[in-house]
Amino acid sequence: MNGWKNLYRLRLNEYRAVYHVDEKSKTVTLLLIEHRSKVYDLLGHDPAKNQPTSRIIADEQAQKLLERIPSQEEFAKAYEQTLNEQPSVNSEDADSAPLPSEFNDELLDSLNIPLNYRQPLLNCKTREELLFCGIPDKLLEKIIDSLWPPRIEEVANAPKRELGSIEALEELAGGSRPLESFLLVLDETQKPLANRFKTDDVKGPWIVKGGPGSGKSTVVLHCIMNLLWNYRSQFDFERRPLRILLTTYTKSLVRASQQLIGFMGGEKFRKQVEIVHVDELVKKHLPSTWTLRPIFYSSRNPEINNLLSNAIRICQTKDKSFPFDENDKEFLFEEVDNLIGGNEILDAEQYASFERIGMGRRLGRNQRKHVWSFWEVFQKELTSKNLCTRSQRFAAALKNSKPIYDYVFIDEAQDILPIALRMCLKLVSNSKNVFVTADRNQSIYNSGFSWKRVQEDLDFRGRSTIFQRNYRTTREIMDAIRHILDTDKQIDDETLNEQHVLQGEMPDLSYTSEEQESKILKEWIPRSLLEERVGLGCAAVLCPTNAYCEKIADALPSKFNAVAMKPAEVDLTHRGIKVMTMHAAKGLQFPVVAVVGLKRNEMPWKVRSGSDEDQSESDQKLRRTFFVACSRAMRRLLVVGNQSQPSPFLEGFDEENWNILSEL
């Protein structure tokens, strides 16, 4: 097409397909299929002049589609011509705006809308009625795209997915396979690493660092599939099938990876790839004689609190100088479970010299001696009740583990204890066949994560890669939330300073009362969903605690179909607003996200016991949690702070990066 860079059109009866050809990578990208009467307007092409319109020239994002960059004079003229254009999908009265055309059977037939969903659609007169009419999100998005088709500049900047065959294209077109089931296309920085796994000479181990949305998990799946296809292509029937392990600490990531592997390779490959949460992996490798029940710390759990209190009293009785008391229960449990047990520290001398990376409270040699005494007493208390800590369970599994996998992939390793990583390494037949991804800035469970220790365990010798492009979250959102981590002394600048592929609206910031918080959400969520052309299931509200989730879900109107979901109950298929804690959202992503509950002493919350250093360490963890929550947003983000008692996490927000809401 004249004026366009490697853009072509294909006549399909009354329709036109517009596609891009990349000769270098030998790929074809389908951009638009539309009726010939609409396609040129969406493309921004003037058929009469056979060249791009002023709209495309004036759009900086769209200029990369042009054969040449317009001069400053051409850009200024085109920009002036487009100033008065109003995009039809983002009008001021988005909720009450009438539909551009009424529904009828002919239109619904053309969109293949099932008969049982037609009457609700025929009753719709406004955009808000369409959003809440109760049809599945996928059908709703198809209808929205038909009423307000995306323009070429939006399509060209959307993430691209890889269709490996004509059959896959037919499945997509026929509706039997969703677009999300296809892996994202890798860029030129990711392909070299993934392509190594197409050969017999992988030469690991590999460590991959990358921030939110950088495609770490996508590359892991590409590497696994390349391994499987390469192995299968050799037609050596005497070789046994590969055995591959993929493990992570994020349950939602486990479920998504299982689904994608199934789509890509079917049941045959699914049996060769075990995708499992690290805690479930431990269960599988405990000795058959293991009977101890794991126990976790909670201030509301009387069983663990009684055990800790007993151990502290015994230590105080034995040694009057014992420096810890009831207020230190949480600190002591985390120290002995995460640090001592999690790092396989075997004696007091080793503990005395161990570098306590990321642990807030500073301990001298004498204090460490008392902590070790407490650990010895606490272990006896646990054994007497047939209990164990999580790290003791890992230690038993590590001791019992044997190499059974050809390759081991560990995703989001920053939240996995070192002892668990070592167990995974012991499960692989060749220590070089290990692939680890992590981002220190997203560590919300394991404060002591250290790249240095991971590298020592793996002996990686320079085989590390950094992904610095964000494909998920818009530049505007990441620019606004980056400063949240400014006070984190363990910040990893390499993964925080990303390049951004997507652009969008500035995130919104609102200060209001708790009573008005739900009112803000009632108005902001529908408007954002409509403007982003997605359904109710594409929005999430993230809260500090489960109790806060329940309050928000109850306050939203029934038509929102909002459900408060605990971590083990997260249902990504729910056709309504998903309300969950910020912790539970780890590893997930949503086009539209509201982060609420930013109130002093609630986010961050006060530690129930311990020192000022413990409070500081808790605050840093929660800062990272807040950052992770905000980075779950792909295209729209709202942060709601308390007007009378705003969270200290909101201090220093640069108003140039935020759209401050007064009233919606």
Tell whether the model's pLDDT for residue 87 goes beyond 50. no
Token representation of residue 405? 């996998």
User: For 606-621, how does the pLDDT look when each residue is reduced to its tens digit (9 = 90+)?
Assistant: 665 556 666 677 778 8
Tell whether the model's pLDDT for residue 506 goes beyond 90. yes
Which whole number is the average pLDDT over 318-323? 94
Note the pLDDT of residue 90. Answer: 47
pTM of the model: 0.79
Note the pLDDT of residue 35. Answer: 83
**Which CATH number among 3.40.50.300, 3.40.50.1360, 3.30.565.10, 3.40.605.10 corresponds to the domain 184-286+397-470?**
3.40.50.300
> Lowest mean pLDDT: which of 14-23, 68-77, 98-107, 397-406?
68-77
**Closest Cα partner for 640 from 507, 532, 529, 488?**
507
Per mean pLDDT, which of 17-21, 56-60, 261-265, 613-617 is the most reliable? 17-21
To the nearest 10 degrees (0 to 180), the angle between helices 418-426 and 278-285 is: 60
Tell whether the model's pLDDT for residue 579 goes beyond 90. yes
- Cα–Cα distance, 145 to 132 (Å, whole number): 16
User: From the CA atom positions of the chain, what is the Rg in Å?
Assistant: 27
DSSP-H helix ranges across 443-586:
451-458, 475-481, 493-496, 514-531, 546-555
Tell whether the model's pLDDT for residue 521 goes beyond 90. yes
Q: pLDDT-derived band of residue 477, with 50, 70 and 90 as boundaries?
A: very high
User: For 372-403, how does the pLDDT look when each residue is reduced to its tens digit (9 = 90+)?
Assistant: 999 999 999 999 999 999 999 999 999 999 99
Tell whether the model's pLDDT for residue 95 goes beyond 80. no
Note the pLDDT of residue 614. Answer: 64
**Vertex 410, ends 470 and 426: CA angle to 5°?**
160
**Closest Cα partner for 417 from 434, 386, 381, 393?**
393
Which whole number is the average pLDDT over 445-471? 68
Residue 350 region by backbone torsions, left for phi larger than 0, else alpha for psi between -120 and 50, else beta: alpha
Tell whether the model's pLDDT for residue 658 goes beyond 60. yes
User: For 189-248, how does the pLDDT look when each residue is reduced to its tens digit (9 = 90+)?
Assistant: 888 889 899 888 787 888 888 888 888 888 998 899 889 888 877 766 567 888 999 999
Tell whether the model's pLDDT for residue 324 goes beyond 90. yes
- Cα–Cα distance, 481 to 285 (Å, whole number): 41
Q: Which residues pair with 653 in a beta bridge?
A: none
Amino acid letter for position 661: L
Looking up tokens 């029940």 gives 293
DSSP-H helix ranges across 459-599:
475-481, 493-496, 514-531, 546-555
Q: Are 391 and 338 in contact (CB under 8 A)?
A: yes
Above pLDDT 70, what percent of the chain? 88
Does residue 461 or residue 468 have the better pLDDT? 468
What lies within 8 Å, CB to CB, of 425 at 6+ separation is 408, 431, 434, 457, 458
Which whole number is the average pLDDT over 51-55? 83
Q: What is the mean pLDDT of the chain?
A: 84
Q: pLDDT-derived band of residue 265, with 50, 70 and 90 as boundaries?
A: low
Note the pLDDT of residue 92. Answer: 46
Tell whether the model's pLDDT for residue 663 goes beyond 60. no
Token representation of residue 484? 């949240």
Which whole number is the average pLDDT over 71-93? 62
Tell whether the model's pLDDT for residue 256 goes beyond 60. yes
Note the pLDDT of residue 525. Answer: 95
Which whole number is the average pLDDT over 426-439? 91
Tell whether the model's pLDDT for residue 293 goes beyond 80. yes
What lies within 8 Å, CB to CB, of 253 at 6+ separation is 217, 411, 412, 587
Q: pLDDT-derived band of residue 151, with 50, 70 and 90 as boundaries?
A: confident
Note the pLDDT of residue 88. Answer: 44
Note the pLDDT of residue 299. Answer: 81
DSSP code of residue 601: B
Per mean pLDDT, which of 2-16, 245-259, 425-439 is the most reliable? 425-439
- Cα–Cα distance, 4 to 22 (Å, whole number): 13
Q: Are 351 and 370 in contact (CB under 8 A)?
A: no
> Lowest mean pLDDT: which of 3-12, 233-242, 294-303, 603-612?
603-612
Q: pLDDT-derived band of residue 456, with 50, 70 and 90 as boundaries?
A: low
User: For 325-373, how does the pLDDT look when each residue is reduced to its tens digit (9 = 90+)?
Assistant: 998 998 899 899 999 999 999 999 999 998 887 666 788 899 999 999 9
Tell whether the model's pLDDT for residue 461 goes beyond 70. no
Tell whether the model's pLDDT for residue 311 goes beyond 90. yes
Q: Are 173 and 164 in contact (CB under 8 A)?
A: no
**Which SS3 state, helix, strand or coil, does residue 250 take?**
coil
Phi, psi of 584 (to 5 degrees): -65, -25
Note the pLDDT of residue 509. Answer: 95
Tell whether the model's pLDDT for residue 86 goes beyond 60. no
Q: Are 66 and 57 in contact (CB under 8 A)?
A: yes
Does residue 96 or residue 43 have the better pLDDT? 43
Q: Taking the domain 475-660, which CATH number applies?
A: 3.40.50.300
Q: Are 477 and 504 in contact (CB under 8 A)?
A: yes
Does residue 35 or residue 553 have the better pLDDT? 553
Tell whether the model's pLDDT for residue 575 goes beyond 60. yes
